[in-house]
């Protein structure tokens, strides 16, 4: 995606729910959202009948994959939640050892929100812990007319 941005192109990254949505019910729910989203994109580009819908609170920004600075047990900070606005420096998670000693503390790298969080508690140095959206501002939707 970074290379595409550098050359002025747009792309879409799609993930079907991750590990937390692999039960049959959640998988079906996420698949339905994905299918509806694809149809909405086609409507936006006038490739499918109907009127596209646009979120009122969408943001634009840069994704940062936050990597584990230590090996241990990944423990999210109580109260953090997907797509919940955070300030730079807010606590995201800690990595502890089996005795509960803190080995590392992950904080928000910028104002923004996380949109992907590690589902497994064990983590090794360099493993991804979360995906963070460094919010640059609101996304101004310009529907094609």
Write the Ramachandran bin of 56: left for phi over 0, alpha for psi from -120 to 50, otherwise beta.
alpha
Per-residue pLDDT at 21: 66
Give the separation between CA 71 and CA 12, rounded to whole angstroms. Answer: 32
Per-residue pLDDT at 99: 96
Q: Is the alpha carbon torsion for 102, 103, 106, 107 positive or negative?
A: positive
Per-residue pLDDT at 17: 60
Per-residue pLDDT at 102: 98
Give the separation between CA 46 and CA 145, rounded to whole angstroms. Answer: 9
Residue 135: is it exposed, middle or buried by C-beta count within 10 angstroms (0-12/13-18/19+)? Answer: middle
**In this structure, how many other beta carbons lie within 10 angstroms of the beta carbon of residue 138?**
11
Long-range contacts of residues 103-111, Cβ cutoff 8 Å, at least 24 apart = 103/70, 103/71, 103/72, 104/68, 104/69, 104/70, 104/72, 106/66, 106/69, 106/130, 108/132, 109/64, 109/66, 109/134, 110/64, 110/134, 110/135, 111/85, 111/86, 111/87, 111/135
Per-residue pLDDT at 16: 63
Per-residue pLDDT at 68: 96
User: What does the pLDDT profile of the chain (145 residues) look like in tens digits?
Assistant: 677 778 888 777 776 666 666 678 877 888 888 899 999 989 988 999 999 998 888 888 999 999 999 999 999 999 988 888 999 999 999 999 999 999 999 999 999 998 888 778 899 999 999 899 999 988 876 655 5
Task: Give all domains of the chain, ordered by start, each with its CATH number.
Answer: 1-54 (no CATH), 60-135 (2.40.50.100)
| Model pTM above 0.75 | no
Give the separation between CA 123 and CA 72, rounded to whole angstroms. Answer: 5
Per-residue pLDDT at 83: 83
Per-residue pLDDT at 96: 97
């Amino acid at each position: 995606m970074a290379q595409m941005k550098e050359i002025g192109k747009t792309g879409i990254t799609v993930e079907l729910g991750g590990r937390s949505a692999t039960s049959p019910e959640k998988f079906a729910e996420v698949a339905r959202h994905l299918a509806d989203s694809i149809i909405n994109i086609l409507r936006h580009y006038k490739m499918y009948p109907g009127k596209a819908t646009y979120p009122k609170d969408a943001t634009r920004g840069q994704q940062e994959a936050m990597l584990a600075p230590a090996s241990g047990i990944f423990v999210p900070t109580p109260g953090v939640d997907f797509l919940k606005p955070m300030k730079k420096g807010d606590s995201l998670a800690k990595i502890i050892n089996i005795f509960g000693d803190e080995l590392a503390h992950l904080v928000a790298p910028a104002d923004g929100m996380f949109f992907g969080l590690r589902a497994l508690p064990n983590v090794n140095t360099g493993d991804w812990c979360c995906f963070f959206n460094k919010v640059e501002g609101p996304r101004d939707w310009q529907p094609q007319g």
